[in-house]
Each structure stands twice: as structure tokens, then as C-alpha cells.
Amino acid sequence: MFQRLDFKAPAARIGAAFILTIAAARIFSMFLPRVHWEPVPGMHIHHYVYGIFILTAAGYLALIFKGDRATMWIALLYGLGVGLTFDEFGMWVNPPFVRGVRWNTNGLTIVILALAAAGLLPILGRRRPSPEPSRLNRYQILLEKEHEQESL
């Protein structure tokens, strides 16, 4: 199972960028909670908005560029956007702005469990060959046995 894992694959880069972005956002918010950019005085734009714009750009770039190198960079960009967007998923679950809601880990837990389930679906959904030979295989086995007996 693990011999097929490729850490240069887009999914691995998306996951790494996602985890690093959430970790960086949480650390930044913990140590510098009052630092934010106000494009208009009094208007705070949360970083999930930037994540949505980054996701939009990643989707557009994925439509235009198809090479392996571009795919790797777009995967990192996508992971960054997903990390910024879903880091504040707790605010989506509890829409009214309340101090401390951002640090509610329920939303982040939901996202991580959903991403883990989505990542496991291809592995769990893979069909294993049945131990019983199919009709065609049984027929081929019988033909081979007859051929062996004729050659004796």
C-alpha cells in the first residue's frame, strides 16, 4: 500500500501547505492577536476571504497550466488557500462574531476529519481481486490441464 505513495504528488503538497498554513495562522494569531490589515478604517477582513481569492486563482491557473512543474506549484497555492479558508471554519459554524469563536477547534476538527475521510476513500474503495477464479479463469485452467495431459 505504501509503495505507491509519492510525496511529490499534488495531494501531498496540498496537505503540507494546508497544515503549515493553519499552523502559521494560529501561531501568528496567538502571538499578535491585534495585528490585522484594515483596508478601510473599522473594516476587518478575515483571512478566510484571502483564502477564497487564492483558491479562485489556483483554480484558474489549474485550467491554464498543465505541466508537472505548474501542477506542483498550483497544489501548494491551493493548499495555502484551503488552509486560510478553513482555518476560520469555526466562524462559519457560529456566524455571529464573538470573541474566542475563532479559537473554537470544533470547526477545525470537522475539516480535518472530512479531509482525512476524503483521503482514505481511494484506499478503502479499492477493489481487491477475489480469491475465487472467475469463469474465464476456470476455463483457462481447465484448458491448460487438458493440454498438459495431452502432452504426456
Per-residue pLDDT reduced to its tens digit, 123-135: 777 666 655 655 5
Neighbours of 81 (CB within 10 A): 25
pLDDT in tens, the chain (152 residues): 444 545 567 878 888 888 899 889 888 878 887 777 777 887 777 888 899 999 999 999 999 998 888 999 999 999 999 888 888 777 776 666 555 555 566 667 777 787 778 777 777 776 666 556 555 566 677 777 777 777 76
* Helix (H) or strand (E) run with residue 131 in it: none
Nearest residue to 48 (alpha-carbon basis) of 75, 71, 29: 29
State the residue for C-alpha cell 495531494: 11
Alpha helices (H) in 1-152, listed in sequence order? 10-31, 47-64, 68-87, 89-93, 106-124, 135-151
What's the pLDDT at 88? 79
Grid cell of 120 as nine digits: 482514505
The pTM of this model reads: 0.63
